[in-house]
Structure 1
């Protein structure tokens, strides 16, 4: 008989680390309409505050670093994102290429687009975005000054908050809870401590659209992330960074409501799952080893925590690139989209004049859909391919991936299947939203919402997976 394993290691990293955060809650009456079906334009109050978090990772030696700017917002257009990064880099005294903006993807924070400036509450958007860049830059500056050696210990948990949301109602696909179809329930957590064992931060990586709150909600809200963060921080005494995973087809079982209590309940569900995984983690810089038999009523196997060589966990490799994804054939033109927008606006006006409020609401929602498409088409990079922004950094036992667009969960499940001995944290909804959704190849031409608005061709998600795999393989 082969002997049992005598070591049960916990994945970990050693690097220089810093985390700083601040409140970025916009004015309570700012333009807020995120949903086509929403009847309001301005927010009417605050559910929970929004947050910006800057996290910096750097090797123990050398000048490289990766700056994550995590925002409690849904998405940003290319212009808004470029302005934000430029201002943050200028104030933070860093190169723009070092900053990766990632979004929690809450749909309750409002749509912060400069094209909304003429709408009710929209006049507050330009100064808000200006202040956001200034605050981000100050956070970067403070975080750089706070960089220190740290140990990061990782764990895995499970949470049933996320469910599959590509639902066939017998006539059409709708975006909503689809019971009976498996959904990725993986929660990845990380605990960051300094060399004295003091906790610096926790990190929660989970894939689930923050769409608890929808068209009936008029309050600015981080959705479930707010209550999750509150719970974890209350227990750990340290700030918590949330990273949205690959959630293209994943959303909360109970969502699309106006009741903030549901968002808080969803957040607590994830928070307790994260705390369960965090609680099980051993001290950084240790491994769990077999210490030998102890004769008792039965002969017992004794285990102990033992120090490890920290240098083994300090390996570092940072890669940044733009993956060229072919544009989808038959992309709608700006002229075509503008004509359709004008038609829906005219139809809405006619329906209201006729007293048909249901028809008017539908036309208003479709007009909003065309407005967003038009905004995206104006900002798409020219050429035959979309340059998808990707950042990959390998630190000790962990692989961190930040990637633009809304990938289906296949991105994370397949990478974790291919590299089972590595802990892989994936932050999607990075940079601007121009890339839109990345569904699997087989879902194209099915009429599912995500593929219907995808701007890149079938096979793009698979190409991304292969590109990331190739770069990970070189360093494993």
Structure 2
């Protein structure tokens, strides 16, 4: 018997927490909050006391250490194994900046806010675990075209993050609905691949971006609580309307996705209800009343696996070399901000400083290493497989895994249990561009990951 519980907390940051993290932004703090940011926890399990804790946080991403801390606290409070806990983010680019190395003068505010996220998430997870009820599960797919390929090649050969109308995309909307024994929707999961970058570097609003709109639309239309799982969005964005700081356009695309997800969730077939004659009520005509019987719940295979996958790394700068450049640019940026320099000059150095910080982090984590363990977190619910990865995989890799999976519904997500960078396809390395320039992984890592995931999924299916 499958059980599920869900709970949510609001995690709005104070305005002294640094905002976003765009290399082109000239501000540090936001002006206000566009809509509440949430942390939502769903606990899904079987009658063998096995469970998965799926957490959806409205923020960009967590470091591995931050994700591990949240997982540790949730596991300690709920009693579930740490490997059963998954912390995912929607990857909104209008959320708080949680990496204090960007803004060392705001470290205290960042640390306090992260502690708040941990506390709120633990509370939500504990409440979800306590409120589990028997459920049925239904899954289906829809189509939505808001996600567009963002690897745009200019006439001079430069690869930029923009809009490529001819590039590959994945329009599939994955939708899962969990109903209680009365047929009421308790929980839904919406899965889609598209960077939440409608609100760009000029935006000064904290916002859950389009995933927040999508969740609200789904909840309004079908009830229950909605989780959003960001898909294989490494090279997928919102197209030509992206980066424009147009709140109305952001709400529109979130609503479009929400309507499609709600349509699929509504159309999913529920098990046929059984009725038994109950009694007669005299009402002029004698009325025969029938009583709906409790639904018979089918047994489903349920499993949670944490699968380590070793991926090849590129050679990194020494820590000393990377630190000299990063520290110098950070000091220059602070000097410009104090002196009231032009926005264009601040934007130029901000971009360089944040790119240098990326390089320093890669050096600190990977210098001298040739391979890296990446955790693939897999939850199997009947013929549904939820795959979570701490990387930004390209859409092509997500499609390969889905097509090679033996499960009818395979939802491949990034931004799960931390963030270890982009994972481009082998074919993208010669083309360069932001994702290639900043990845720690060597060409071929995408193929090794896809092969390992498909093998793990086939093994889980074979274990039936």
Distance 2:52 2:173 in 1: 23
Match of 1:100 in 2: 86
Which is further off, 443-452 or 376-385? 376-385
Question: Contact 1:117 / 1:123 at 8 angstroms: preserved in 2?
Answer: no
Answer yes or no: is 1:44 the counterpart of 2:31: yes
Shift of 1:356: 7.0
Structure 1 residue 410 corresponds to structure 2 residue 396 = yes
Q: Are the structure 2 counterparts of residues 351 and 83 from structure 1 closer, same or farther at C-alpha, using a change threshold of 3 Å?
A: closer
Report the CA distance between 1:375 and its aligned residue: 3.5
1:123 is aligned to 2:108: yes
Asked if 2 retains the 8 angstrom alpha-carbon contact of 1:93 and 1:141, the reply is no
Distance 1:64 1:420 in 2: 22
Q: Deviations over 1:397-448 (max 9, x none)?
A: 2112112211111232112322476111222111121x21111111124212
Alpha-carbon separation, structure 2, partners of 1:459 and 1:285: 48
Quote the offset at 1:342 in angstroms: 4.5
Q: Which runs of 5+ in 2 are unaligned?
A: 274-293
Partner Cα separation in structure 1 for residue 220 and residue 331 of structure 2 = 52
Alignment of 1:434-453 (within 5 A): 435-453=420-438
Query: Given that residues 309 and 374 in structure 2 are in contact (C-alpha distance below 8 angstroms), is that contact kept between their aligned partners in structure 1?
Result: yes
State the TM-score, normalized to the length of structure 1.
0.85
**Cα deviation 1:338-385 (Å, max 9, x = unaligned):** 233245457768999997763552122111221233235434598432
How far apart, CA to CA, are the structure 2 residues paired with 1:65 and 1:439? 32
**2:14 corresponds to 1:27:** yes
| Counterpart residue number, 1:9 | none
- The answer for the alignment partner of 2:385 in structure 1 is 399
CA distance in 1, matches of 2:353, 2:272: 56
Matched, 1:341 2:319: no
- Does the Cα contact within 8 Å between 1:29 and 1:44 map onto a contact in 2? no
What is the 5 A alignment of 1:207-218? 207-218=193-204
User: CA–CA distance in 1 between the matches of 2:94 and 2:145?
Assistant: 22
Provide the C-alpha distance between the structure 2 equivalents of 1:363 and 1:97, rounded to a whole number of angstroms.
Answer: 40
Partner of 2:349: 363
User: Which residues of 2 match residues 59-78 of structure 1 at below 5 A?
Assistant: 59=46, 61-78=47-64
Alignment of 1:162-241 (within 5 A): 162-171=147-156, 172-241=158-227
SS state of the match for residue 430, structure 1?
coil
Structure 2 match to 1:53: 40
2:455 corresponds to 1:466: no
> Matched residues in 1 for 2:199 and 2:132: separation?
37
| Deviation of 1:66 (Å) | 1.3
Deviations 1:122-173 (A, max 9, x none): 4321111112111111122111112222111111101010000000112211
Q: 2: distance between equivalents of 1:192 and 1:257?
A: 36
Distance in 2, matches of 1:42 and 1:355, equals 17
1:103 deviates by: 0.8
1:4-53: CA deviation from partner (whole Å, max 9, x where unpaired) = xxxxxxxxxx6221111111111133211410111111111101111111
Take 2:230 and 2:381, find their aligned partners in 1: how far apart are those partners? 20
Alignment partners' CA distance in 2, 1:38 and 1:31: 12
Q: Deviations over 1:264-288 (max 9, x none)?
A: 11211211111221222111479xx
Give the alignment's Cα RMSD to 1 decimal.
Answer: 2.6
TM-score (norm 2): 0.87
Q: Give the Cα–Cα distance (whole angstroms) in 2 for the partners of residues 132 and 285 of structure 1.
A: 41
Match of 1:278 among 265, 271, 290: 265
Cross-structure match for 1:259: 246
Long gaps (5+) in structure 1 = 1-13, 287-306
d(CA) in 2 for partners of 1:154, 1:218: 37
Contact 1:29 / 1:45 at 8 angstroms: preserved in 2? no
Shift of residue 178, structure 1, vs aligned partner:
1.2
**2:198–2:243 Cα contact (<8 Å) kept:** yes
Closer, same or farther: CA 157–464 of 1 in aligned 2, 3 Å:
same
Of 93-102 and 263-272, more deviation after overlay is shown by 93-102
| SS at structure 1 position matched to 2:101 | helix
Aligned-residue offset at 1:198: 1.5
Distance between the aligned counterparts of 1:178 and 1:150, measured in 2? 42
**In the comparison of the two structures, how many residue pairs are matched?**
438
